[in-house]
Amino acid sequence: MNRLTQFLEEKIMPFAGRVGQQRHLQAIRDGIILTIPLVIIGSLFLILAFLPIPGYDGFMASIFGENWSANLQLPVGATFDLLAIFVAVAVAYRLAERYKMDPLSVAAVSLVSFMLVTPYKIAFTPEGMDKAFDVAGIPLALTGSKGMFVAIVVALLSTEIYRAIVKRNFIIKMPDGVPPAVAKSFASLIPGFAVVLTMWILRLILQVTPFENMHNIVGELLGKPLSLLGGSYIGALIAVIIAQMLWVTGIHGQALVWGIMSPVWLALVDQNRLAYTAGEQIPHIVNVQFMDIFYSIGGSGTTLGLALILFFRSRSKQMKQLGRLAVAPAIFNINEPIIFGFPMIMNPVMMIPFILVPIVIVTVSYFAMDLGLVAKTAGVMVPWTTPAPIGGFLATGGKISGAVLQLVNVIISAAIYYPFIMIWDRQKLREEREFSGTDSSSKSA
C-alpha cells in the first residue's frame, strides 16, 4: 500500500497536474460547461413533451391543440441542434482569455470559421419523387452534437492562427482617441482575415479529396474512435478508474476526465435524445447522464452510501460529526466534505473502496441496461445535483427501473464501504480514547 501511495504521489499526481493545467484542455472543458445549462433547459421541455402519465397526451391536446408536442419541442431543437455552434464560440472565447486576447473577437472569428468549413447543402427528396436534390441549407446534424468535434478543432485552430498573427504584431493600431470597441474591431481585422483565408483554403482542398469536408475527416479520424471507446463499458471503466485515482492524489479527477470525455458523451446523449423522440430503440448506454446519474450518486465514488453509514453507524466523535456535515450535501451529489474531511486523499484504508466501488457500480449499471433490466438514459439532461432516485427516474424518461437502479447502487456502495468505514471508525475511536486518557492523566498530575 505504501508503494501504491508513493507511486500515485510521485508519478500520477505531477503528470495529472500538468494535464489539468494544459490551456487547450481547460478551454475545451470550460467551453463545454457553457452548453450544459442550455441542454438542461432543452431537456426540461423534452420531459414535458413526453411525460409518462396516462391520459397526458389527450389532456394537452385538448388545451393546446394537436401540435402541442411539436411546439413544446421547439426549445429542444434550439438548444440541442445548436450545440456545435455554442462550442465553437465558447471554446475559442475561453482559450482567447487564457492568451489575454480580445475573447469576443476571437469567438466571432471562430464561429465564422466553423460555418465556413460546414457544407451548405441538404439532400431533399420531394414528395412523390424518387430522386434527391441538393438544396441550400446547413444540416442541423452538423450544427448539433455531430459537429461538436469539428467545432472544437476549428475553435482551437482559429484561435492559434489568430494568436500567431497578433503575436507578430500584424494588427491595425488606431490612435488613442478612438473608442476601445472600435479599436478592437480594427485590431481583429488582419488576424480575422488570416483565419478566414486559412479555413477557406482548407475547405477548398478538402472538397477535392474523398472526405469532401472537415466534418467527414474529423468524424472518421477522431469522432468514431473516441465514440467507440468512450461509449463502451471498457471506456467507462477507464474513465472512472482514472478519475478516482486522481481524486486520491488530491486532484479533482471528475473535472479533469469529464472535461476530456464530455464532447464524446454529450454527442451520445443527443443521439439517445433523437431516438427517444422518434420512438426508436435507444442506442447508447454510456454517456454523460449514465456517468453523472448512476456513478456519481453522492458525488465521485458513489459516496451517498458512505455518508449514510457515517451518519447512522459511526461511533467516534470525529466520524459522527463528519456524517452530520456530509449527509445533506451527499443527497445532492456533493461530497467535498467527505473527500477532504475523511480525508480520502492518500488514505491507505479508504482509497481501496473509493476506487473499487465505482468499478462495481459502473459494471452493475451497464449490464443492467444492456440486459434490458433497466431502461437506458433517454437523452434528457438532468442536473447532476438531482437527488436519487429522482435523477434515475427522469434520466430514463420517467421509468421506475432507473430510480430502482439508483437505490440498488446506493445499497451496493454502502455494503462495500461498510467494513472499511468500521475499520477507520474503530481507529479514530481508539485515538480519541487514548487522547482522552492522556488528557485525564495530565489533569491528575
How large is the average pLDDT for residues 296-304? Answer: 90
- Mean pLDDT value of segment 339-346: 82
**For residue 96, what pLDDT is reported?**
95
Please report which confidence band the pLDDT of residue 285 belongs to, taking 50, 70 and 90 as the band edges: very high
**113: Cβ contacts below 8 Å, ≥ 6 apart:** 88, 154, 157, 158, 195, 196, 199
- Tell me the pLDDT band of 253, cut-offs 50, 70 and 90: confident
Burial of 426 (0-12, 13-18, 19+ CB in 10 A): middle
| Dist. CA 240–CA 236, nearest whole Å | 6
Q: What is the pLDDT of residue 16?
A: 60
The DSSP output letter for 145 is G
pLDDT of residue 164: 94
The band of 233, judged by pLDDT with boundaries at 50, 70 and 90, is: very high
Higher confidence at residue 343 or residue 133? 343
CA dist., res. 329 & res. 273, Å (int): 30
